[in-house]
Structure 1
């Protein structure tokens, strides 16, 4: 494949570009229309990510809420923007390396977002995006695994196999957030087995194994990804999700294939890597490559070229 991979989500998802453009020009009716047309469960979170990355978009969202108090979409987007800004203040450094000012800003933003979302779910217990964002907040301000699970259970009453919520709880169950590899693995496995064939949930196992590989020393990562049990489980998960003939997913599909491709590349499984890179077509994703080095686009391209014989 000679073309450069396209990493902008808008390349594969025109809706992502449309909602980002609408947010940049302050066109709330256009933002709302893109969300209203989205029929995929994972779509609202992807679209929200495009909106909240727009600098200063909180001003638009506060204006909307001033005229329409309690608007569910504007409330969720403003909360997500506050979470985004808070996490920027915290930075990606280890907890012990975050400055006191960074912690204060982080907690202030997440607490404001939490208050917004408490109101949102009080008005509508079926607000899936609000519950999902509350899971992120629970993890961020250290409310504990039990509280994050409680919020996840509320989400599953709305959507039993909510992939974004499962991704969030999986993070909570990892050792870096106070959990264990065993609990995280069991959760990812159970979610995959319970979900309908052709859904995204199998990618949770790729996410788990990428996290596990990333926790190891560089010399051990390849050996871990090449283990027969890991390769077998990833093959089963891929063929039950994004490689399943019933898969019609658009939102999140590229990132899922990217996760499987990374693990196949680490494990030296060139045939599996080729399958996932081919399934992505001209598109690419820096997740989870960015967990492993500071040049994810270049690393993705190098492994893709190698897998496709370039």
Structure 2
């Protein structure tokens, strides 16, 4: 098993600097394959790719790749009718109706979204919940339906009790599910009715309760970035430069990507990119440079889109240069 320190040792011998490019598939070639199959409405191929990725290994990235594909909602109902007892088509429909709902709402501020768009948004999310509940009934041990239901709970303002129950339902089936924890962290953010204190406690406790090398490590920098976003200019920089913020980032890094059991699989690129941005904002150039080196120029849209929504790669390059990489 190769640790980040091993990668750093190898990469340190190379004097070039890779071109920074946004990585749409997190390094997983199956993401591109399943997108192509979804665009062609080839359900057999989509199903084969999903079934080859066991629930225990987290299918959510593949499901989102299908869900982000236009017109999936047109042909999935036919698949469901043809396979009335199958859970998988219902999960795909559930995920698609989430993204289709957000397409109706758009990314505008709530005050700028029309009543008609909000009604369509909510209608599609309610349809998503129906598909996901039906999938959960057919496959009680599966994780994906409950993960999807976490998202609809927040979008439909179902409240903290429902949100907590759905998070718990997900982690009962997969205690260290990265997506489930990311969704619950958003749920308890101050902007969604929670608090900074609750958010930071949840992030730290979740990371330290997981085995060494956990990809949950990104929860800690994500929480600090969330608080940084909530502050006015000047206050945001002062917050990120606090010694206790740096200490918490280093603690999480040691239990996550710096641990010898950390593996380059799943959402590993997101972990490194999130730490890279947080360490950059904290002024920790050495730690940031370590993360930039390990990403090898592969950029994830989040969290860099917070700095430059039009070009996450440009934000990445700017901070990589500032770190001396």
Q: Who is 1:198 aligned against? A: 213
Structure 1: runs of 5 or more not aligned: none
Which has the higher mean CA deviation after the structures are superposed, 171-180 or 294-303? Answer: 294-303
Q: In 2 relative to 1, CA 37–249 (structure 1 residues): closer, same or farther, beyond 3 Å?
A: farther
Q: Who is 1:304 aligned against? A: 320
C-alpha separation in 1, matches of 2:141 and 2:295: 33
Deviation at 1:158, TM superposition (A): 0.8
RMSD: 1.7
Q: Who is 1:8 aligned against? A: 23
1:52-84 deviation digits (Å, cap 9, x = unpaired): 111111223222112102422211111111100
Residues 55 and 144, structure 2, Cα contact 8 Å, conserved in 1: no
Q: May I ask how many residue pairs the two structures share in their alignment?
A: 309
SS at match of 1:197: coil
C-alpha separation in 1, matches of 2:88 and 2:146: 13
Residues 26 and 300, structure 2, Cα contact 8 Å, conserved in 1: no
Deviation at 1:264, TM superposition (A): 1.0
C-alpha separation in 2, matches of 1:38 and 1:249: 17
Which has the higher mean CA deviation after the structures are superposed, 29-38 or 236-245? Answer: 29-38
C-alpha separation in 2, matches of 1:264 and 1:219: 17
2:117 corresponds to 1:102: yes
C-alpha separation in 2, matches of 1:264 and 1:140: 31
Q: Who is 1:266 aligned against? A: 281
Greater relative contact order structure (CA < 8 Å, 6+ sep): 2
Residues 271 and 307, structure 1, Cα contact 8 Å, conserved in 2: yes
C-alpha separation in 2, matches of 1:40 and 1:123: 14
Superposition pairs for residues 158-177 of structure 1, below 5 Å? 158-177=173-192
1:136-185 deviation digits (Å, cap 9, x = unpaired): 00100011011010111111221112211111111110111111111111
Residues 185 and 205, structure 1, Cα contact 8 Å, conserved in 2: yes
C-alpha separation in 2, matches of 1:204 and 1:172: 13
SS at match of 2:25: helix
C-alpha separation in 2, matches of 1:137 and 1:276: 33
C-alpha separation in 2, matches of 1:42 and 1:142: 29
C-alpha separation in 1, matches of 2:77 and 2:100: 15
Deviation at 1:249, TM superposition (A): 4.2
1:192-228 deviation digits (Å, cap 9, x = unpaired): 1111111111111111111111111232222222211
2:258 corresponds to 1:243: yes
Residues 26 and 269, structure 2, Cα contact 8 Å, conserved in 1: no
1:226-270 deviation digits (Å, cap 9, x = unpaired): 211111111111121122110124111111111111111112111
C-alpha separation in 2, matches of 1:137 and 1:274: 37
Deviation at 1:44, TM superposition (A): 1.3
Superposition pairs for residues 131-170 of structure 1, below 5 Å? 131-170=146-185
Which has the higher mean CA deviation after the structures are superposed, 76-85 or 239-248? Answer: 239-248
C-alpha separation in 1, matches of 2:26 and 2:158: 37
Q: Who is 1:281 aligned against? A: 296
SS at match of 1:291: coil
